[in-house]
């Protein structure tokens, strides 16, 4: 297999031959032997929902057109898809629940490892949630905000929308979604409802199942909003920070601890504890003490708030271990390849699982509990130091690749930068420049990597094209990881790739904000749950213009997506009215009804729609066209 087929990441290309030599099997090896992948599965027409099956529909029309129960391709495809949305919503909202419960504990005076770091933000949230915070004690506010968030998991009245969904959208959007009966009232109930209605012999109408799915996607959105906002309260609202990305951030003379997964509850404490254990690392022979690096979205979380360097994104997580320099890889939830422990067998690396519901055979399990967070973190760092002592120097190969990355662009940080241009009306300079065409539109890049695409290539190709077309770009998740690794989150990238008018605007904002040059070409907004930050910005613009989100020159792209969470995110983006590109063929093509619903009917109903395009250049052209269409609609 030629190198260029797998990835454009130079660090990965450096390590792949070494992995091969060491007999390490990687995601790309497993993908290669998996091909050809099952055609029925690819089309979404395989049903395993009951044990009369598995049933599969013949896409060519010669074989069976219905499952044993009589379900047709449309029912089967829609059910499979809705269940993916439910799983995505479950993942994000479970993460949110942990954060909300921790905030409640803090309010109640338990959980000594945590505190309220951003009081102002907590007050702002309380205001937004109509909790009348004025004059209340901050701990009382914390309790009330946590409770209002937890109510979104327990409310039984179907007519009352989730708090976080209601207060974070435009009024017009809320009304539309209530009318369509897709506004969630209770995250958990909506997820359960999807599972129930897709049980054998229930909802068989594809469009109706999909509407259920949209509600699930909005439940995902709700969980995501509260995750992000409450994390900022506990750990601080991100501000621009200069750091580095790619595997070259590992240090030969340090105890390297990689934090991987999604939830900042543990990684934040590990960072605190590690600072205090530097001396112990040095005593063990690590001249440079402890070096924490991030992978996937836990990495994004600590990068945004602390400037911790990002080692790599999803598809190359195994490669971090192949460097031979990672002493411990600490994982929490989501996007952790079960393969990690097999790779670690060839090295000294300790893979440490921390969550009772996320264990991996072969890993060391050190359970994390909020009430004893510091002890768990301590134990983890001790295990890492012990592992460092066993490190085999001959196996260490740290690729000499890393890039500068400016991260930390929360909605608040973007507004703060803009307020340097217009203190009274910070959004005005941004809106003026959108209206006059200096900025043609805004694109949000989100989502994962997938071996079906060359790693990072779709992101980079599309972004460079959009930059040329003067589109302002935001990124989250592993997409943000891509841009950080490839140097597109730098001022130099703005100089090199931005169209003239975009460059002028980014320079004006950057200079006013004291950056001595332009803002970076792509603004890092955080982890997957932080996609809600981009919605915050979009809603602020929409409210100011007095239009709904489906009128804005705003697009989203998940060019290398793979996870159920990404399915949920993409779907809520569409539901909020955003044209959303996906660069991997979705497993729905076996049903023309479902495909048409998501790409055309959705546009009529919601204003947003999916654009499926695997060719990155074509995708960029389609995104630019979608932006142009929106501008035309606004008469600008
Ligand atoms: Fe996972 Fe968030 Fe996807 Fe990356 S991007 S592979 S979901 S870590 Ni959200
Ligand atoms: Fe087959 Fe119907 Fe059972 Fe699905 S639910 S496996 S289509 S019999």
What CATH number should be reported for the domain holding residue 350? 3.40.50.2030
Lowest mean pLDDT among 1-5, 283-287, 442-446: 1-5
What's the CA angle centered on 181, arms 180 and 187, to 5 degrees? 135
Q: How far is the CA of 186 from the centre of ligand 1 (A)?
A: 25
Q: What is the best residue among 445, 565, 573 to mutate for testing ligand 1's pocket, by most ligand atoms within 8 Å of CB?
A: 565
Distance from the CA of 49 to the center of ligand 2, in angstroms? 6
Q: Is the CB of 68 under 6 A from ligand 2?
A: yes
Q: Is residue 140 part of a domain?
A: yes
Cβ–Cβ under 8 Å, residues 483 and 597: no
Q: Is the pLDDT of residue 45 over 60?
A: yes
CA–CA gap between residue 303 and residue 294 (Å, rounded): 7
Number of domains composing the chain = 4
Q: Encoding tokens for residue 136?
A: 């209340």
Q: In this model, does residue 252 exceed pLDDT 60?
A: yes
Q: Is position 401 within any domain? A: no
Specify the pLDDT at position 580.
98
Q: What is the ipTM of this complex?
A: 0.96
Given a cut of 50, whether residue 2 has pLDDT beyond it is no
Segment 72-83 shows an average pLDDT of 98
Residues 165/221, Cβ–Cβ less than 8 Å: yes
Rounded to two decimals, the pTM is 0.97
For the record, the structure tokens of 528 come out as 């997957």
Mutate to test the pocket of ligand 1, among 296, 476, 524 (most ligand atoms within 8 A of CB): 296
In short, whether 69's Cβ falls inside 6 Å of ligand 2 is yes
Do 309 and 388 belong to one domain?
Answer: yes
Which listed ligand is nearest to 74 at the C-alpha?
Answer: 2
Going from the Cα of 85 to the center of ligand 2, the distance in angstroms, rounded, reads 20
- Tell me which ligand sits closest to the C-alpha of residue 47: 2
* Ligand 2 in reach of 49 Cβ (< 6 A): yes
Q: How far apart are CA 575 and CA 586, in angstroms?
A: 17
How far apart are the C-alpha atoms of 44 and 565, rounded to whole Å?
Answer: 17
Confidence band of 612 (pLDDT split at 50, 70, 90): very high
Q: Is residue 359, in this structure, part of any structural domain at all?
A: yes
Q: How far is the CA of 459 from the centre of ligand 1 (A)?
A: 14
pLDDT at 4 over 70: no
Shared domain for 224 and 291, answered yes or no, is no
Q: Which residue, of 395, 425, 441, is where some domain finishes?
A: 395
As a whole number, mean pLDDT of residues 361-375 equals 95
Residues 326 and 445 in one domain: no
* Phi, psi values for residue 422, rounded to 5°: -150, 95
Per-residue pLDDT, 5: 85
* Domain encompassing residue 358: 247-395
How many angstroms separate the CA atoms of 26 and 605, rounded? Answer: 43
Per-residue confidence band for 546, with pLDDT thresholds at 50, 70 and 90: very high
Mean pLDDT value across residues 146-169: 98
- 263 is written with which tokens? 């939830």
Q: Is the confidence at residue 475, as pLDDT, over 70?
A: yes
- Do the Cβ atoms of 458 and 583 come closer than 8 Å? yes
| pLDDT, tens digit, 9 for 90 and up, residues 344-353 | 999 999 999 9
**483-520: pLDDT as tens digits:** 999 999 999 999 999 999 999 999 999 999 999 999 99
Summarised one tens digit per residue, pLDDT across range 396-450 is: 999 999 999 999 999 999 999 999 999 999 999 999 999 999 999 999 999 999 9
Q: Do residues 230 and 251 both lie within one domain?
A: no
Confidence check: pLDDT of 3 > 50: no
The number of the ligand nearest the C-alpha atom of 40 reads 2
Is the residue at 404 inside a domain? no
Residue 44 Cα to ligand 2 midpoint, Å, equals 13
Identify any residues that bridge with 310 across adjacent strands, giving them in sequence order. 245, 294
When computed from its CA atoms, the radius of gyration of the chain, rounded to whole angstroms, is: 24
Here the tokens at position 593 are: 């009804």
Q: Can you tell me the mean pLDDT for 208-235?
A: 98
According to the 3-state scheme, what is the secondary structure of 83-141? HHHHHHHHHHHHHHHHHHHHHHHHHHCCCCCCCCCCHHHHHHHHHHCCCCCCCCCHHHH
Measuring CA to CA, which residue among 290, 235, 264 is closest to residue 106?
A: 235
For the cut 70, the answer to whether the pLDDT of residue 238 exceeds it is yes
Answer yes or no: is the C-beta of 200 below 6 A from any ligand 2 atom.
yes
Q: What is the mean pLDDT of the chain?
A: 97
**DSSP 3-state of 11:** helix
**Residues 271, 335: one domain?**
yes
| Statement: residue 382 has pLDDT above 60 | yes
């Amino acid at each position: 297999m030629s190198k260029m087929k797998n990835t454009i990441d130079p660090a990965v290309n450096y390590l792949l031959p070494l992995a091969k030599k060491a007999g390490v099997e990687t995601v790309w090896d497993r993908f290669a032997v998996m091909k050809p992948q099952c055609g029925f599965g690819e089309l979404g027409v395989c049903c395993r929902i009951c044990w009369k099956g598995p049933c599969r529909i013949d896409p060519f029309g010669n074989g069976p057109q219905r499952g044993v129960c009589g379900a047709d391709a449309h029912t089967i495809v829609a059910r499979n898809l809705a269940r993916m949305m439910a799983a995505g919503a479950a993942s994000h909202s479970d993460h949110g629940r942990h954060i909300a419960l921790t905030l409640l504990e803090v309010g109640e005076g338990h959980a000594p490892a945590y505190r309220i770091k951003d009081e102002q933000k907590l007050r702002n949230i309380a205001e937004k949630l109509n909790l009348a915070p004025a004059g209340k004690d901050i701990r009382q506010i914390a309790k009330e905000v946590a409770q209002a968030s937890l109510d979104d998991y327990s409310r039984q009245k179907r007519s009352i929308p989730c708090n976080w969904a209601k207060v974070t959208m435009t009024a017009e959007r809320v009304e539309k979604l209530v009318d369509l009966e897709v506004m969630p009232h209770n995250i958990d109930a909506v997820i359960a409802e999807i599972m129930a209605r897709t049980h054998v012999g229930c909802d068989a109408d594809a469009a109706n199942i999909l509407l259920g799915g949209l509600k699930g996607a909005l439940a995902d959105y709700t969980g995501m909003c509260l995750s992000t906002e409450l994390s900022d309260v506990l750990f601080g609202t991100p501000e621009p920070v200069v750091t580095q990305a790619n595997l070259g951030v590992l240090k030969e003379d340090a105890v390297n601890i990689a934090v991987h997964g999604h939830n900042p509850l543990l990684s934040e404490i590990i960072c605190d504890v590690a600072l205090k254990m530097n001396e112990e690392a040095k005593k063990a022979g690590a001249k440079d003490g402890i070096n924490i690096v991030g992978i996937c979205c836990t990495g994004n979380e600590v990068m945004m708030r602390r400037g911790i360097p990002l080692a790599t994104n999803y598809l190359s997580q195994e490669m971090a271990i192949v460097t031979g320099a990672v002493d411990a890889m600490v994982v929490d939830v989501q996007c952790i390849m079960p393969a990690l422990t097999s790779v670690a067998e060839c090295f000294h690396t300790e893979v440490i699982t921390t969550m009772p519901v996320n264990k991996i055979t072969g890993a060391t399990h050190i359970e994390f509990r909020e009430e004893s967070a510091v002890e768990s973190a301590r134990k983890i760092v001790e295990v890492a130091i012990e592992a460092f002592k066993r490190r085999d120097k001959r196996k260490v190969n740290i690729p000499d690749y890393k890039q500068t990355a400016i991260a930390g662009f929360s909605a608040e940080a973007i507004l703060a930068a803009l307020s340097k241009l217009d203190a009274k009306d910070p959004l005005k300079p941004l809106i003026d420049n959108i209206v006059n065409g200096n900025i043609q539109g805004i694109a949000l890049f989100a989502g994962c990597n997938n071996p079906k695409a060359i790693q990072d290539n779709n992101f980079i190709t599309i972004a460079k094209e959009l930059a040329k077309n003067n589109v302002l770009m935001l990124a989250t998740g592993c997409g943000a990881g891509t841009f950080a690794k490839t140097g597109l989150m730098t001022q130099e990238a703005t100089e090199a790739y931005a169209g003239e008018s975009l460059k002028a605007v980014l320079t004006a904002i950057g200079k006013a904000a004291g950056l001595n040059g332009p803002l970076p070409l792509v603004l890092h907004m955080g982890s997957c749950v932080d996609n809600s930050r981009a919605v915050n910005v979009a809603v602020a613009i929409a409210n100011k213009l007095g239009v709904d989100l489906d009128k804005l020159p705003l697009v989203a792209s998940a060019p290398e997506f793979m996870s159920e969470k990404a399915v949920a995110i993409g779907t809520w983006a569409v539901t909020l009215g955003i044209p959303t590109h996906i660069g991997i063929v979705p497993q729905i093509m076996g049903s023309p009804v479902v495909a048409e619903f998501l790409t055309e009917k959705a546009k009529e109903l919601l204003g947003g729609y999916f654009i499926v395009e695997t060719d990155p250049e074509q995708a960029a052209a389609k995104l630019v066209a979608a932006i142009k269409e929106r501008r035309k609609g606004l008469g600008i």
